[in-house]
Structures are given as structure tokens and as C-alpha cells.
Amino acid sequence: MSILLQQRLALLATDAHRALLSQGRRGIERETLRVDSSGELALTPHPVALGSALTHPTITTDYSESLVEFITPAEHDITDALAQLDAAHRYFYATGTDELLWSESMPCHLPDEAQIPIAWYGNSHIGMLKHVYRRGLALRYGKTMQCIAGVHYNFSLAEPLWAVLQHAEGTAGSAIEFQSESYIALIRNFHRYSWLLMYLFGASPALSSDFLRGRPHTLDTLSDDTLYLPHATSLRMSDLGYQNNAQVGLVPPYNDLSSYMKNLVNAVRQPYPAYEAIGAKRDGEWIQISTAVLQIENEFYSTIRPKRVINSGERPVEALCSRGVQYIEVRCLDIDPFEPVGVSLETGRFMDAFLLFCALDQSALTNEAEGHENTDNFALTVKQGRLPGLQLQRQGHPIALKAWGLELLEQISAAASLLDAQRDDHAHRAALDNQRIKLNDPDRTPSARVLREIAAQGGSFKRFAMQQSLAHAAQFRARGVSAAELASFQAAAQQSLDEQARLEREQTGSFDEFIEAYRERSLTSTRCY
């Protein structure tokens, strides 16, 4: 354990500061495809009963009309966020739909790309901006890849906690600067250790054989409709998932917020020949926001992002540079097909301990060589994580995944104990103990369990996923929603529809003017604070 971690844990363990740990926030974003009773992609519009995907605060769509996204409010305890997530799922089924929510990260059988519906947000300028962005994604990467779903875990520590650390350590600079750079330090540590999350929680070792659309691959055949890798943990996070050749070499140094933002701003400005050849408009209609390497900053694919709640029409870089980092978003978690809401409380407890460790531990500045090492460790784990004796690289030296993982759990345990002391229970330590079991026995990992269950279904990914989807739907329908919950969701849906209508009614100017102003906004400065 580093000296800095010991000092910070001891400081936060005092009676004067321990309560600060309970003031941080946790939130979950769960993506899930809507499918029909046969397990085929639902081609129906986003259900009106769910409200407006543009303005509803907790129920929206991601890439496709068929890809629902449930977003919880930011809660102090992950238990409360999961309760909100559960309620949203129960409401979905309480609307009387005969559709199902797909239980896997990797998609169901998909129709031809032309038939996959891009998410529609209405005719307001901001709604059209979101739609055009997705048109651009379709042109750049194809629609199939955009139908992969996941779980995003949002995490923050209380601002007074950062102030306590800054005062105790005598660090110069503003409070915003200290907090932001501390989150960037967390991100550096996350990249060093995120392979561990793939081993422990990866749950996509197999996929539907038609997902690849005839692309060459090195996967093994499990059955007529299923491909897999025997030791894989998360094919979703492998090179079979989200890829962007234009982003090669765009990995920004995570040594300070300003340089990170500068890289993203440059990518939003820099023309890319292949996208220039497509053009931003076709027959007078916008087909992508721009022809740059990135249309917007969020197009940069990363397993973790520094975030700040943005105002309507505001760019992420604008919010981060003016008001600093508010929280981080972990984007690499697979949907857990054995959990009705896609993520378990135990996973949440572990994530809190893991991220607290990443935030409080020493985090040396990084470089290109370490960046490649981190990327290679992650890539090895998602494709071969359960391979007996698998070796990773740590600072240029080989180390067994199992040995490094157990060592990390021992370091994280101190953060887990501090969280438990604040709560006066053993929930976080128990979550860690269960992860230790997985490191000692790869057959206890979710990815290994998925392969066993697929084998029990005749080797069919689709049959397994449908079995889980039906079971989850039955559970949600059996519990239903209370009268108060129903009224609350219905009111939120109607309010969101009214808000979308207001935006469309009151907007001024042309969409061309709006999109040009958005493209230019806040790209003149890359200096934060």
C-alpha cells in the first residue's frame, strides 16, 4: 500500500471526516435492446408510454429507437440507484407491452442494416442534432456495432472530501483544479487496473454468429448460430466491438485535464479524409454533424470518461473546462444476464471500493509506453482472461493475472473496510471476498457461467439470452408497480412529451444555423479553469 493511500485512508477514517464518504454520488445507465416475442429486434418506435426520449430524465434511447436506456438519478447509496433502476424496468412491463428487454450485451439477431432504426428525437434543433449525430455513427461504423449494450457506472466523491484532502496535503491551486486533477489521477489508475473488472464482471464470451456480417474473425464455432472464445470474458470490449480507425493514435495523455481536453478539441476540429469524402450533407440533408475525426467529443470511445452535467446545447468540453470534473463514468461493464436489471448490488459495492482505491492511491503520471501496456493487458483479459496461467505486463515485467489480481484485492480491501466502517456493516468486504473466489477459480466468473448455461441450451446464444429475457420479464411483471409509482412514471412521461413539444414550438432560426453554431461553440479555447 502506498504511503499516500495510507495517509488518506487514515484521515478519512477519523470521526471528523468519515461521514464525507456517504456524501458522494452513484448512478447507473443501463442500455437494453427491445425485442419481440421471438427474440427479433423490435422495429417499433420508442413507446409513447415511456415519454420523450429527448427530454425524459430517466428513460431515453441510445443509438437506435430499439435501444432503450434507463438512467437512474445520482444517489448517495448504490442500493437506492438500483431500486430506481428496478422501478423503471417494472414500469416498462407495466405499460402492457408484449416486447422484452434483451438480457445480453451482445445483440439479438439483427435485420439488415437498413432496417435498424436510428433513434428519433423529434423536430427540435437539439433533437435533430442528436439524430444527425447518430446518422454519422451509422456511416462511420455501421449500425450493427451500435446495437451493443452495456452498463455505465457513474461515481463521484463529495466536494468537501476533496477540500479536506487538498488542505491536509497543502496542494496549491483552486478547489476546482484540485478536484479535477484528482479525478484525472483516478482515471490513470483505472486504466492501469481495469483489466481486473473485465475478468471479474465480463459476461459476453459468446455472440450470435450473424453479428459479424461476414467479417473475418478468429472466433471458434460453438453451434450453428453461436461463436465464442473458450477463455474470453468480454467480447463486447474486444476489437469485435466498438472500433474507429480514425481514432488510432488519439489516446490522450491522462496527465492533466487541459491536455485531455486539447486532444478532444483537436479531434473535433481535424478533418478526416474518409469522412470528408462522405460529406456532411447529402442532397441538402445533414448526414453527420461534421467531417472531422470526431463529430462531438463523446464520440471518442473510452472505457472511462471525466464528466460534468451539461446545460442544454452546451458541449462537454465547454462544461469541463469552465466548471471542472464533477464525476467519472465507467463504461466497460457488460450487462449481467443473470441480474434482471443487468447489474448486481454486489458489483456496485465492489465498484465503489475499487474506484475509491483508484481515487485515493498514488497515481504517477503516465506515458505512451504505459498506455500501450494498459491497452494490451485489457485486450488480453477480454479475449483470454480465463486462460490458465495468463501473464500480463506490469511496468515492463510479466506477472500472472491471478497473482496481480489478488494483490490488488488486498490493496482495495483497505478502501472497502473504510466504506464498511462508515456504514457499520461488512457489505464491501463481502463483495471483495466474492471476487477473490473468482480469481482463485475462473469457473466462478460470469463469463464461465454464461458458457455453461449456453451449453445447457444446446450451444445457442439466442436460446440462452431468450431464456434469461423471458425469466426477467416474468419477474418484473409479477411484481408490477404500485399506484403511486405508476402515477409518477406516467406524469414524468407526459411532462417530457410536453417539454419536447414546447421546444419544437418555440425554437427559432434554421437547423443549418443551429448546427453551424454548435460546431463552432467553445472550440476556440483549450485552456481549462
pLDDT interval class at 242 (50, 70, 90): low
The answer to whether position 529 is within a domain reads: no
Range of the structural domain that residue 287 is part of? 3-520
Q: Is the residue at 526 inside a domain? A: no
For every residue of 140-181, DSSP letters joined together read: HH-TTGGG---EEEEEE--HHHHHHHHHHHT--S-HHHHHHH
pLDDT digits (tens, 9 = 90+) for 349-361: 999 999 999 999 9
Q: Judge whether residue 45 has pLDDT over 70.
A: yes
Q: How many domains would you assign to the chain?
A: 1
Checking phi first, is residue 313 left (phi over 0); if not, alpha (psi -120 to 50) or beta? left
Within a domain: residue 525? Answer: no
pLDDT at 243: 57
Beta strands in 289-382 (DSSP E): 304-307, 327-333
Residue 378 pLDDT exceeds 90: yes
Q: Output the domain CATH number for residue 229.
A: 3.30.590.20
Lowest mean pLDDT among 174-183, 190-199, 266-275: 266-275
Alpha-carbon distance values, 368 to 56, 202, 359 (Å): 41, 26, 22
User: Comparing 85-94, 237-246, 394-403, which segment has the lowest mean pLDDT?
Assistant: 237-246
Of 80, 56, 76, 84, nearest to 68 (Cα)?
56
Query: 188: number of CA atoms within 13 Å, CB side?
Result: 22
The angle, 0 to 180 degrees and rounded to 10, between the axes of the packed helices 483-506 and 125-141 is 100
Q: Tell me what pLDDT residue 121 has.
A: 98
Count of CB atoms situated within 10 Å of the CB of 369: 10
- Identify the band that residue 520 occupies on the pLDDT scale cut at 50, 70 and 90: confident
- pLDDT higher at 1 or 13: 13
User: Left (φ > 0), alpha (ψ -120 to 50) or beta: where does 302 sit?
Assistant: beta
Cβ atoms 195, 381 nearer than 8 A:
yes
Q: Give dist(CA 517, CA 10) in Å, integer.
A: 50
528 falls within a domain: no
Q: Which of 52-61, 97-106, 213-222 shows the lowest per-residue confidence on average (mean pLDDT)?
A: 213-222
* pTM for this entry: 0.96
3-state secondary structure of 217: coil
Q: What is the pLDDT of residues 126-147, one digit of tens each?
A: 999 999 999 999 999 999 999 9
Mean pLDDT in residue range 24-49: 98
Residue with cell 449494450: 149
Cα separation, 255 vs 259, in Å, equals 7
Residue 94 forms part of a structural domain: yes
In a domain, 527, yes or no: no
Read off the C-alpha cell for 72.
Answer: 437512474
- The more confidently predicted of residues 526 and 421 is 421
User: What phi and psi values does residue 68 have, to the nearest 5 degrees?
Assistant: -75, 145
Residue 251 has pLDDT above 80, yes or no: no
Is there a domain that residue 491 lies in?
yes
Confirm whether 149 is domain-assigned: yes
Q: Report d(CA 139, CA 308) in Å as an integer.
A: 28
Q: Looking at residue 528, what is its pLDDT?
A: 62
pLDDT at 322: 87
Q: Name the pLDDT band for 1 (thresholds 50, 70, 90).
A: confident
